[in-house]
Amino acid sequence: MTRRSLWLHAAAKPLLFLICLLPLGYLVWGAVSENLGANPAEALIRSLGDWSLRGLCLTLAVTPLRVISGQAALARFRRMLGLFSFFYASLHLLAYAWLDMGLEPGDIAADILKRPFILMGFTAWLMLLPLAATSFNRGIKALGAARWQRLHRLVYLLSLVALAHFIWMRAGKNNFAEPAIYGAVLALLLGWRLWQRARRPQR
């Protein structure tokens, strides 16, 4: 089986769907078995946020991998990866609102306004919302291809806001090692796009 036929295989998307659910399954099992450490609520909230950021990085990696490898079929996985990033971001927000704030709207609003890193995270989720809502054929048709593409370029700014949320959160504990890794990955992915754009012939 060639690489091209592998990406086009009928089982490829269902397999990716199951793989994307594995982190959630691991976290649910850890919560049920009381195996998430001394502070399970914090571990759950942070892990869900981590997987949202990883999903965002993977989504942004699809286009460079497709171009460099010449495997156009890789593009068919981008939408699913993006939606899973939104899925984990929504669970991250829900876990924070429930486990940290007891689902009290007033307390949640006050905390968002009081703590800048929470505000950045909430802003990132709000930016993800229209992208997820229009990540379907009907959304593309309703907006038109050109407007849809312009809207979905928001993902570049969104990735920087999400990274800022992560860095700001880790700054409280003076832990910048992991944010630096994500920063390097995003710099590479966004830098590749800028390089590609600069190489295009000027009209």
Q: How far apart are CA 149 and CA 147, in angstroms?
A: 5
- The CA distances from residue 171 to 32, 94, 99, in Å, are 30, 23, 22
Mean pLDDT of 16-34: 95
pLDDT tens digits, 133-150: 998 888 888 888 889 999
How far is the C-alpha of 201 from the C-alpha of 188, rounded, in Å?
Answer: 22
pLDDT value at residue 140: 83
pLDDT of residue 173: 72
Six-digit token string for 101 = 């704030």
pLDDT of residue 141: 86
What's the confidence (pLDDT) of residue 44?
Answer: 95
Residue whose tokens read 């009381």:
34
- Domain residue spans of the chain: 3-199
Q: Which residue has the higher pLDDT, 181 or 172?
A: 181
For residue 164, the model assigns a pLDDT of: 95
Spatial separation of the C-alpha atoms in residues 23 and 196, rounded to whole Å = 33
- Give the tens place of pLDDT for each residue, 118-133: 999 999 999 999 999 9
CA proximity to 148, closest of 160, 161, 134, 159? 134
**Whole-number Å distance between alpha carbons of 16 and 83:** 12
